[in-house]
Amino acid sequence: MGRLKEILRLTAQIKKQSVSMQRRLLLYWLSMLLAIAAAVFLILSVTGVFSNDARKAGETLQLQLDNAQLQITQHIESLEANSIALSEQISRTLESVLTENGMTTEELNDSPELLQKLQKDLMPRLYMTLRLSQCSGAYLVLDATTNTSSDKASHSATGLYLRYASFHAKGATNQDVVLFRGIPEIARAEQLELHNRWNLEFDTDLFPGYDVWMQTEVGRLADSCRWTERFLLTDTWEAVQLLCVPIKDKAGKVCGLCGVELSSLYCYLSYPELNSSFGPMITVLAPVEGGKLLLEKGMVGSTDGTFLADADTLSVQNGHYFNTYSWGNDRYIGMHRETDVCGADGNDLSVAVLIPESTYAACHNTNRTVLILCSLLLLAVTVGLSVFLSKRFVQPILQTIQAIRSEEVPGEGEPTGISELDELMTFVSSRSNAKALQKETALPPDIEELFQAFAERAKTLSTAERTILKYYIDGHEITEIPELAFVSIHTVKKHNSNIYQKLGISSRDELMLYIDLFRRLGRLNELTDIV
């Protein structure tokens, strides 16, 4: 309790301490400048000048694009390396079996026993490729059929196609494998189940680009890897893309294809959307042609919470910080960059990272609203501070003027809080005593210096400015002076501004206060003589 009383006593004592008029005026103008700055800040916030959400979104997308490109490139390179190794192994095995049986590649047709032996010999390698690769399936197809007399012989080809029965994210283990294409006896020997849409041979009409591959001359396998466009797997609801690596016989002719499969579901699980402050980021690997991102021909990661799963093609509109991708009424912001992954037409695919524009706009609006509210709060505080300081600065001056005019000078126990006014009021209070008036009491040094300085500054006025000052000394109002001085009100105001600046005052009220004080002290001649 005693400490609280001491704090209250110190607070009251601080309030009674006087502050110079110069400091108060400086503080007042500082508060006005802060209020103006707050108003400008509010206007710029409303117009969006201070918003850097677009730049931040661009930086976020750029970072994720770099990560996605690195991740996808490493993934694809691994799949291509395993598929090339598979092709080389198949070529060696095929050459060994053909040499052993004294046959050529063309003579594989109508040789079911030999084709079964080939599949049996190649099954371990294909199975190992599937297990070692981050994919949903692995296949090999040879340009031969077990029965050339069949109605479907012209578009039927033997081979093996292994797929996972259920799909998990890449890197998952202990997944069941089923035989999608191939001789069923091999599946039984390997204790594999048949896919519920199993078939003995491949339908090459449904294999994208198969006929073109069989007529293509290839060199290095590393330069011949191609990804098909996304297509619906025969007799299933699953969309897949196949990595195609040619199989060459000993003459260097293409006699088949092999590679791995990436299904849409596998990509969906392997490349989930990543949360950011602007919404979920979706990863895409697809061709960009004619200003369009062709989703229907590429791989798309998880699209939860978006309508991207229904889109086939996105129109691309380039922007400063990011691009805009649109499909109907749905829009996305994002970036894309070309990779070294070769597509079906020989052109490189592009990796893209997308964010729904709706989630970005919601984040942007929230940040903008917060910025505007903070600006409003800052403006309200600075304006309130300016009003408060204005009252604290002007009110004591007005009260002092009124007190001097009415000769009701406050006592020493009621300070104004302005050191110059307090000293002046102390002097005037002493002069108000009749006995003190009979004596020629000298002014306090600080006040005397204040009056002398004012009188000296008055001598710097021009002839026209002195004329205006004379009218004020005579008691005329500003509206009367234009007619008396034969000048415009604009000229009078201009003279006023110069008078205030030269006399070191800020208003007419302060000028009249000095004139009244000079008059009361009997020193008005110090001003009238120069006029």
Q: What is the pLDDT of residues 28-62, one digit of tens each?
A: 677 778 878 877 777 766 666 556 788 899 999 99
pLDDT value of residue 421: 58
Closest CA to 211 of 184, 244, 236, 233: 244
Q: Is the pLDDT of residue 323 over 70?
A: yes
List the one residue out of 173, 135, 80 whose CA is nearest residue 269.
135
Interval 282-305 mean pLDDT:
86
110 and 222 in a single domain? The answer is: yes
pLDDT at residue 85 is higher than 90: yes
- Element holding 285 (H helix, E strand): strand 279-286
Is it the case that residue 169 has pLDDT exceeding 60? no
Lowest average pLDDT, out of 110-124, 259-273, 277-291, 499-513, goes to: 499-513
Alpha helices in 432-507 (DSSP H): 434-438, 445-458, 463-473, 481-485, 489-503
d(CA 88, CA 65): 34
Q: Quick one: pLDDT at residue 437?
A: 44
Could you tell me if 316 and 325 are in contact, meaning their C-beta atoms sit under 8 angstroms apart? yes
Within a domain: residue 356? Answer: yes
pLDDT band at 156 (very low <50, low <70, confident <90, very high): very high
DSSP state of 356: E
At 438-462, the pLDDT tens digits run 444 455 666 777 778 888 888 888 8
pLDDT for the residue 522: 77
Domain co-membership, 110 together with 223: yes
pLDDT of residue 364: 78
Q: How large is the angle between the packed helices 357-406 and 53-101, nearest 10 degrees? A: 170
Q: Are 117 and 100 in contact (CB under 8 A)?
A: no
- Domain final residue, candidates 342, 364, 386: 364
Specify whether the CB–CB gap between 323 and 333 falls below 8 A.
Answer: yes
Q: Is the pLDDT of residue 7 over 80?
A: no
Residues 212 and 144 in one domain: yes
Q: What is the pLDDT of residue 502?
A: 85
**Residue 146 domain-assigned (yes or no):** yes
User: Is residue 151 domain-shared with residue 187, that is, in the same domain?
Assistant: yes
Q: Is the pLDDT of residue 179 over 90?
A: yes
Let me know if residue 389 belongs to a domain: no
Question: Of 208, 243, 263, which closes a domain?
Answer: 263
Nearest 5 degrees, angle CA 386-CA 392-CA 397? 125
The residues, ordered by sequence, that sit 6+ positions from 350 with a Cβ below 8 Å of its Cβ are: 285, 286, 287, 288, 293, 336, 337, 338, 339
Q: What are phi and psi of 431, to 5 degrees?
A: -75, -20
Same domain, 241 and 318: no
Give the pLDDT confidence score for residue 525 in this predicted structure.
Answer: 80
Residue 110 belongs to a domain with what CATH number? 3.30.450.20
The encoded tokens of residue 326 equal 């649109």
245, pLDDT greater than 60? yes
What pLDDT is stored for residue 80 in this prediction?
94
Phi-psi category of 208—alpha, beta or left, where left has phi over 0 and alpha has psi -120 to 50? beta
Closest CA to 46 of 473, 435, 368: 368
Q: Are residues 251 and 298 in the same domain?
A: no
Kindly give the pairing relationship between strand 274-276 and strand 279-286. Answer: antiparallel
Do 310 and 259 sit in the same domain of this protein?
no
Q: SS3 sequence, 421-447?
A: HHHHHHHHHHHCCHHHHHCCCCCCHHH
Judge whether 80 lies within some domain: yes
Domain holding 208, by residue range, is 70-263
Residue 406's pLDDT band, with cuts at 50, 70 and 90, is low
Q: What's the CA gap between 228 and 240, in Å, rounded?
A: 9
Total count of domains within the chain: 2
Report the candidate in 347, 418, 338, 406 with the shortest Cα–Cα distance to residue 26.
418
The model's confidence at residue 413, banded by pLDDT at 50, 70 and 90, is: very low
For residues 378 and 37, give the distance between their C-alpha atoms in angstroms, rounded to a whole number: 10
Q: Max CA-CA distance within the chain?
A: 146
Question: Same domain for 181 and 289?
Answer: no
Q: Please, what is the average pLDDT of the chain?
A: 81
Do 121 and 226 reside in the same domain of the chain?
yes
Domain contains 413:
no
Domain presence at residue 491: no
Question: To which H or E segment does residue 145 belong?
Answer: none
- In this structure, the answer to whether residues 149 and 253 fall within a common structural domain is yes
- Answer yes or no: do 252 and 281 share one domain: no
The mean pLDDT value for 391-403 works out to 65
The domain boundary residue, chosen from 364, 390, 422: 364
Residue 29 CA to residue 22 CA, distance in Å, equals 11
pLDDT score, position 432:
56
Q: Judge whether 240 lies within some domain.
A: yes
Q: Is residue 458 part of a domain?
A: no
Q: What are phi and psi of 166, to 5 degrees?
A: -135, 150
User: How does DSSP assign 294-335, residue by residue?
Assistant: EGGGSEE---TTSSGGG-SEEEEE--SSSEEEEETTEEEEEE
9, two tokens: 């006593």
- Among 60-64, 75-79, 374-378, 466-470, name the one with the lowest average pLDDT: 374-378
Confidence of residue 412 (pLDDT cuts 50, 70, 90): very low
Q: Of 190-204, 328-342, 513-527, which range is least confident?
A: 513-527
**Is residue 16 pLDDT above 70, yes or no?**
no
Same domain (yes/no): 293, 181: no
Which residue did the predictor score with more confidence, 389 or 436?
389
Question: 63 pLDDT exceeds 60?
Answer: yes
Torsion angle, alpha carbons of 330, 334, 335, 341, to 10? -60
